[in-house]
Structure 1
Amino acid sequence: MEHSAHHTAAAHDHAAHRAHAGHAGHQMGGVTWGAAAKATLHCLTGCAIGEILGMMVGTALMWGNVPTMVLAIVLAFVFGYSFTLFAVRKAGLDFKTAIKVALAADTVSIAVMELVDNGIIALVPGAMDAQLSDTLFWTSLLGSLVIAFLLTTPVNKWMIGRGKGHAVVHAHH
C-alpha cells in the first residue's frame, strides 16, 4: 500500500490521483510496477517484432547463426525505437527531438532485453540451430522474451523513478 500512503501524505484528492495514475513516471518516488510493466511491454513488443523478423529473414536467406542474430538485434532496436518515435512524433515533437527522446527512453531497456533474450537463446541446447518450423525455436524465443520482460521491468521501474527511460516520453505527452 506504499502507493496509497504516498498519495495520502501528499494530500492529493481523488481527481488528482486519477489524473496521475497513467503517468506514474512524473512522480519520482511513486513509480508503480504497473507503469514499469507497461513501459517494458512497449519495449518488448518492438524487440519481439524485430527479433522474429530478423530470425525469419536470416533463416530464409540461410545465413549462419551470428549474422542472423546480429540482424535480429539490429531490427529489435529499430522496431523498439520506432514505437516510441511514432508516439512522440504524434504528440507533436520535431523529428530531431523525437529521435533524442526515443534514444533516451529505450536504449537501456532494449539493451537489457536483448542481452537477456539472446543470452538465453544461446544457452538453450539446440535453440541457435532450430528452424522456424521447430517447436524449440518458438518455445525458446517465447521463454527468453518472458524472462527478459521479468528482468527488464525492475530496470525500467528504477529508471522511471529517477526521471529516466520512459519518464522522458511521459514528459512530452
Structure 2
Amino acid sequence: MEHRHQHHDHAHDDAHAAKGPASWSTAATATLHCLTGCAIGEVLGMVIGTALGWGNLPTMVLAIVLAFFFGYALTLRGVLKAGLGFRAAVRVALAADTLSIAVMELVDNGVLALWPGAMDAHLADGLFWGALALALTLAFLLTTPVNRWMIGRGKGHAVVHQYH
C-alpha cells in the first residue's frame, strides 16, 4: 500500500513554528511600525481637535481612534499588497496590532494626561511637542518588550511577517 502525502499550505503553521525568543531588533522594528501609525493618528487628532476648539477629552478620544486607524491601515497596506483578501487582511491587522497599539496609546496618553500643562499646551508651544516626543519615546520603550513577547509566541507581528 502506497502512502500519499497531500501538499497543504503551511503558511499559518510556519508563523507558529517560529515560536521562541524573538530578537530585540525584530521587536523594535514591529514597535516602530506601530509607533508610526500611532504618531500620525495622535498628531492629526490633536491638530483637528485643537482647530475645532474641542476640549481635552474629545481631542484625546479622536487622537486614539485615529492612532488605531492609522496603525491598522499601515498593516493592511502591506498585507493587501502581498495578495491577501480584504477580510483576511483585516483579521491579520487586528491580530498583529491591537495589543501593541493599545499599550502604546495607554502609555502615550497617560504621560500626556499626567504631565502638568501638557494637555493645555497649544500646537505652537514647545511644551506640546516636547511632551509628545517624550510620551511617544516612553511608549516605544515600554511597547517593545510587549511586541518581543508576542512575536516569540507566534502572535502580533509574527502573523504579519509570513506575508512579507
TM-score (norm 1): 0.84
Number of the residue aligned with 2:8: none
Which of the pair has the greater relative contact order for Cα pairs under 8 Å at 6+ separation? 2
Indicate how the Cα distance of structure 1 residues 101 and 94 shifts in structure 2: closer, same or farther if over 3 A, else same. same
Post-superposition Cα deviations, 1:44-95, rounded to whole Å, max 9, x if no partner, equal: 0000000000000000001000000000000000000000000000000000
Q: 2:146 matched to 1:152?
A: no
Q: CA RMSD in A?
A: 1.3
Aligned residues: 150
Structure 1: gaps spanning 5 or more residues: 1-23
Number of the residue aligned with 1:10: none
1:25 Cα shift?
Answer: 8.6
Number of the residue aligned with 1:95: 86
1:31 Cα shift?
Answer: 1.1
Structure 2: gaps spanning 5 or more residues: 1-14
Post-superposition Cα deviations, 1:129-150, rounded to whole Å, max 9, x if no partner, equal: 0000000000000000000000
1:26 Cα shift?
Answer: 6.3
Determine the C-alpha separation between the residues in 2 that align with 1:27 and 1:164: 10
Determine the C-alpha separation between the residues in 2 that align with 1:31 and 1:161: 5
- Percent of residue pairs bearing the same amino acid type: 71
Q: 2:53 matched to 1:69?
A: no
TM-score (norm 2): 0.89
Partner amino acid, structure 2, of 1:96: R
Runs (4+) of structure 1 exceeding 2 A deviation are 24-27
